[in-house]
Amino acid sequence: MSIENTLMQRGDSKCELCGTNDQLSVYDVPPVDKSSEDKAVLTCITCKTQLNDAASVDVNHWRCLNDAMWSQVPAVQVVAYRMLHQLNAQGETWCQDLLDMMYMEEDTKAWADLGLPEEEDPDAIVHRDSNGDVIVAGDTVHLIKDLVVKGGNFTAKRGTPVRNIGVTNNPLHIEGRVNGQRIVILTEFVKKSKHGE
């Protein structure tokens, strides 16, 4: 029997995460060396798309994890655990409550932890823009107000893009090139550019 057929049987022909039956397919739970039913989950098109693209995540869709986290299938537990961690990191506090209740065998938890990002160094310097978004070296930001550049004899206009920024040891300062001149800019006066801006 194929992996898909086995998962269809195991999941009663429904997505093992949200319970719908819309365009079901196999999702191999990373890390994957060889596909197998033990390391895979039957997912609908919505779940699979969002699992593969963090930018497309619809928080309300993942309320289904309230039920999925209690699955007896380790692969389903792993996916639920990782997604709850991802949403929790984005500020969805309800996810922490579910994580606190969740139970997994030790080997399943070790597998689930493999897919989590490395813990951040608590001593690391984090730069945040005016909206609180993290900005890192190489990002593009836009000025949110006119800034008089001391010693530069010009005013950097609001909306000016500053590309390929550099970061400093001070979390309130970044460096960037404006009008051909490298200047230090306070992070409170910039906004991180989204893709396409």
| Domain enclosing residue 49, as ranges | 3-114
pLDDT, residue 61, reads: 94
121 lies in some domain: no
Same domain, 132 and 104: no
What are the strands, taking DSSP E only, across the chain?
25-28, 40-43, 127-128, 134-135, 141-143, 147-149, 154-156, 161-162, 166-167, 173-178, 181-186, 190-192
pLDDT at 6 over 70: yes
Same domain, 98 and 56: yes
- Output the CA torsion sign for 123, 125, 129, 135: negative
142 lies in some domain: yes
pLDDT tens per residue, range 173-195: 999 999 889 999 999 999 998 75
Same domain, 188 and 141: yes
pLDDT tens per residue, range 70-125: 999 999 999 999 999 999 888 888 999 999 999 999 999 999 998 787 655 556 78
CATH number assigned to the domain comprising residue 144? 2.30.30.40
Cα distances from 66 to residues 58, 62, 99, 166, 179, in angstroms, run 15, 8, 10, 42, 52
HSE (CB half, 13 Å, CA atoms) of 119? 4
pLDDT, residue 27, reads: 94
pLDDT tens per residue, range 158-175: 999 999 999 988 999 999
179 lies in some domain: yes
Give percent helix, percent strand, percent coil of the chain, each to the nearest 5.
35, 20, 45
CA–CA dist 54, 160 (Å, integer): 29
- pLDDT averaged over the chain? 90
91 lies in some domain: yes
Q: Which of 68, 90, 114 is the last residue of a domain?
A: 114
Same domain, 107 and 83: yes
Q: What is the dihedral of CA 29, 35, 39, 44, to 10 degrees?
A: 60
Kindly report whether the global pTM for this prediction surpasses the value 0.75. Answer: no
120 lies in some domain: no
197 lies in some domain: no
77 lies in some domain: yes
Q: Which of 81, 114, 147 is the last residue of a domain?
A: 114
Number of domains, the chain: 2
Q: Which of 82, 114, 146 is the last residue of a domain?
A: 114
Same domain, 33 and 81: yes
Task: Provide the β-strand partners of residue 43.
Answer: 25
Task: Provide the β-strand partners of residue 149.
Answer: 154
Same domain, 8 and 97: yes
